[in-house]
Amino acid sequence: MESCWRRAGAFRSVMGLLVVELLLVFQLVHSQPTCPAGPAQENLTQPQYETATEKDPSVGFMAPFAQSFLKTVQPNPFPKDLIQQFLQGTGNGISDQEVIKKILVYEVGFLVCIAIGILYIVLMPIIGFILACCRCCGNCGGKMYQKQTSSIHCIRRTLYVFAWATTLIILAGNICMFKSNAALKVSVEQSPVELNRAIGNIHKLLTSVPQQMDSVVHESYKTIQEVTKNLDDIGTQLGSEIQQRFRGTLDSTLNSVKRLGQECSDIGDQLNQLNSSLTQVKSTMDRLQANITKVKNQINQTLSNPSCTNCSAAASEVKKLKWDSSVTIPNLNELFSAVDEAKNNLQNKTKEAEAYFDRIPDEVTNDTQDFVKKGKALLQNVKEQISQIPNFESELRQISVTLNQTQTEINTYLPTVEYAENIRWSVCTALCCTVLLVVVCNLLGLTFGPLGLSPKADPTERSCTANCGGIFLMMGAGFSFLFSWILMIVVVLLFLLGGNVYTLVCRPWNNGQLLKFIDTPGLIPGKGLGQILKLNHSLGVSEIYRDCNQNRSLWTTFHLYETVDLGDLLNVSKYTTEVRQRFDNTHINMTSINLLTPEIKSQLRSLSKKTVNTTTLTEQMNGVYSVNLSSIANGLDKLADIQANGNIETELRNEANQLRQIQTDIEKVLIPQMKNLNSSLTSLQSSLNSVNGTVEEVLRKVGAAQDFLNTNASQIIKTESRKFLDCQLNLFVLYEDWANNTITQQLGRCGPVAGAVDSAEAIVCAYMVESLNAFWLSLGWCMIFFIPSIIFSIKLAKHYRKMKDSDVYK
């Protein structure tokens, strides 16, 4: 049976070891390194740019009409080839007849309109002069005579309606003139503010780029500091991971060893308690033996007294009074010594194993000192490499200087511009008032004429009010002839200026053709942005605007990747091979530990076979239970009853009481002590029986754990060391990804550049040109309707003026 049990135990040990090995292999294959969180990279702080001022609703109110008219006048596309030929001529582009011919063909729509305007300018004063001369000579309505017909009143009303209509149309155009003039003034006043805002935003952008780049580099320092701190704390971090991998398998073994040691300690306590119980029982039995012997001698002496009646028969009963106080105590010294030695050995081995695990961080620190020193040196190399990322501060400062000069020049010419704008506004206001003068004269004539007119009255007897109305109408016609050709000159000049600026600048600027045209090589002399920034790529304005309009980073917009190899500067993988090689050459030498020596194992097996022989002691205890002194005491009482001698009677009764007292001590003192002794023996025997199974379980677990340490300790150290190294390298990988994404996508988002271009377009086109075009369109509108206004006013005036000659309708 014992050999079978041993074979079964060996089989369980082999299976336990196999399970541990399989679990370890599974962990090594499937476990993923869980690295602690590294330093959190902060997002770049983007500058707070000023927002553009909202467009005044009064600006550009006539833009759709002006743009529609100009599109009709100039439907041709942007003449980039023609302008390039003109700018890149032989030095005097105007003398090139072919280029001039192309220009005239392109500008044919404007030329037609200018021809119409010139015709207007020439004919209006001539016609006015001829009409004035004719009227002075009494012709062309100059004779104060009006023929009366049946349709005279219908003609007057028709002329009145048309005169009112043309006057209102001119008034509407005049209102648009005032409004566009005011809008142009607002545009000019807002232009410097918008330009300074746009330039200020670009300044913020240029200033923020070096700061943002320094922030990216600073984040690398935080990563390096984190890795340096981890290397300084390699003993605690790597050592604790190795401890966890060991304890994950060995904790249950050490706990079982501790439990066995505790059981041994409990058995020792039980042995001490058993020894104390045996001593107490032996002391009580010796005392009772002495008392019984004393009482027996007293009884024998009383019974041998000649005065004792019938005492010879009782003497035979007294002889039966026997007490065997000898207690056979089992030898517990050997068992006690074995238990105590096993307990001490298990406690010492447990402390030794725990001390072994506690020394792991210190051993890791000592064995990796050289690697940590060389690793810090490599970190300095990485720090120097990343610090070589350029921040383009000098190049951007050059652009800032140019912007400052531009802003200074704007501020220098600002008073002149304001003065010129005041003059322009005054002149345009005077022109508006001139048109308003004609409108006022027409309105006064159209008001006073009907008020003072009596339709049935003779024309020679018309009232002064009606006559004033006719005079005002003539004044409106006269002012129209007097100022219309001058105002038309203004219309032609402003039309030529504003129309061409819109068709050649604003319209292609809006659809992107102008920016592409500016990108034409050699069109603009001087260094381009690519040369200023020392780039290998020639940057185009349209390309920059397109990227900046999408708020892309300067890295992408200016193609900085062609100049700076960011991947090489941020790539720390070049150090990875060297770091891994040095780390692999670092050996963490863990001293081996023997969890339980063969002597301790043999001792534990011997202890598991120990037992306590309690047969003799049990028999002696049963003999104690059979003792009955009360019967002898009852016999002595009966004998005392028949005694004639009072002394004999008293002695017998005292001796009977003494026996009863001894019997009481046996029952109340000795027997409970015997039961307690029996309980201690039972508990000890049960503990010894349970130790047998515990010892075998502990030996099985210790054997499996010892094989685990001998086989896998070095592999665990290598695995955890590689995980620690991978975690440190992973910090640089994370930083590299963050830095690359930040520099290429977030660094220097050039939205303000596109905003500045849009602001310039808004200032030039949406504000100034649209307001200017609205002004000349409104003024030209008025000039066109001056012609019917003159006709209707002159013809209507004769219906209100006082005639010198009368005519009677028949």
Write the pLDDT tens digit of every residue in 649-664: 888 788 788 888 887 8
Q: How confident is the model at residue 90 (pLDDT cuts 50, 70, 90)?
A: very low
Stronger pLDDT, 119 or 149, i.e. the higher one? 119
Q: How confident is the model at residue 540 (pLDDT cuts 50, 70, 90)?
A: confident
Q: Which amino acid is at 507?
A: R
Report how far apart the first and last C-alpha atoms of the chain are (Å, whole number): 164
- The reported pLDDT for the residue numbered 4 is 39
Q: How confident is the model at residue 377 (pLDDT cuts 50, 70, 90)?
A: confident
Q: Of 186-195, 381-390, 429-438, 654-663, where does mean pLDDT reach its minimum?
A: 381-390
Q: How confident is the model at residue 3 (pLDDT cuts 50, 70, 90)?
A: very low
- The reported pLDDT for the residue numbered 557 is 81
Residue 145 predicted with pLDDT over 60:
no
Stronger pLDDT, 503 or 324, i.e. the higher one? 503
SS3 category, 150? coil
Three-state secondary structure along 166-212? HHHHHHHHHHHHHHHHHHHHHHHHHHHHHHHHHHHHHHHHHHHHHHH
- The reported pLDDT for the residue numbered 491 is 94
Tracing tokens 């070095």 back to the chain, one arrives at 714
Q: Of 85-94, 249-258, 336-345, 785-794, where does mean pLDDT reach its minimum?
A: 85-94
On the 0-12 / 13-18 / 19+ scale of CB atoms within 10 A, 450 is middle
Q: Which amino acid is at 572?
A: V
Stronger pLDDT, 74 or 266, i.e. the higher one? 74
- The reported pLDDT for the residue numbered 295 is 81
d(CA 615, CA 528): 115
Stronger pLDDT, 670 or 546, i.e. the higher one? 546
Q: How confident is the model at residue 412 (pLDDT cuts 50, 70, 90)?
A: confident
Query: Which of 10-19, 278-287, 586-595 has the highest average model confidence (pLDDT)?
Result: 278-287
Residue 82 predicted with pLDDT over 70:
yes
Residue 196 predicted with pLDDT over 60:
yes
CB 343 within 8 A of CB 261: yes
Residue 648 predicted with pLDDT over 60:
yes
Six-digit token string for 516: 């592409």
Residue 430 predicted with pLDDT over 90:
yes
Under 8 Å CB-to-CB from 716, ≥6 apart: which residues? Answer: 24, 242, 245, 246
Helices (H), 320-392: 333-358, 360-367, 369-386
- The reported pLDDT for the residue numbered 5 is 34
Average pLDDT over residues 718-744: 80
- The reported pLDDT for the residue numbered 591 is 62
- The reported pLDDT for the residue numbered 533 is 57
Total-model pTM: 0.67
- The reported pLDDT for the residue numbered 184 is 87
- The reported pLDDT for the residue numbered 115 is 94
Q: How confident is the model at residue 195 (pLDDT cuts 50, 70, 90)?
A: confident
Backbone phi, then psi, for 145, in 5-degree steps? -145, 135
Q: How confident is the model at residue 647 (pLDDT cuts 50, 70, 90)?
A: confident
CB 356 within 8 A of CB 593: yes
Residue 140 predicted with pLDDT over 60:
yes
Q: How confident is the model at residue 113 (pLDDT cuts 50, 70, 90)?
A: very high
Residue 32 predicted with pLDDT over 80:
no
Residue 161 predicted with pLDDT over 80:
yes
- The reported pLDDT for the residue numbered 138 is 65
Q: What is the largest CA-CA distance in the chain?
A: 209
Query: Which of 3-17, 30-44, 664-678 has the highest average model confidence (pLDDT)?
Result: 664-678
- The reported pLDDT for the residue numbered 489 is 94
Q: How many CB atoms lie within 10 A of CB 51?
A: 9
Beta bridge partners of 145: 805
- The reported pLDDT for the residue numbered 27 is 38
Average pLDDT, the chain: 77
CA-to-CA dists, residue 682 to 336, 607, 627, 678, angstroms? 16, 18, 24, 6
Q: Of 288-292, 314-318, 400-404, where does mean pLDDT reach its minimum?
A: 314-318
Residue 495 predicted with pLDDT over 90:
yes
- The reported pLDDT for the residue numbered 45 is 77
Average pLDDT over residues 216-221: 80
Six-digit token string for 30: 């499937």
Percent of the chain with pLDDT over 90: 13
Residue 406 predicted with pLDDT over 60:
yes
CB 337 within 8 A of CB 606: no
Contacts made by residues 562-570, CB under 8 angstroms, sequence distance 24+: 562/535, 562/536, 562/537, 563/533, 563/534, 563/535, 563/536, 564/389, 564/390, 566/389, 566/740, 566/743, 566/744, 567/740, 569/385, 569/386, 569/388, 569/389, 570/386, 570/389, 570/736, 570/739, 570/740
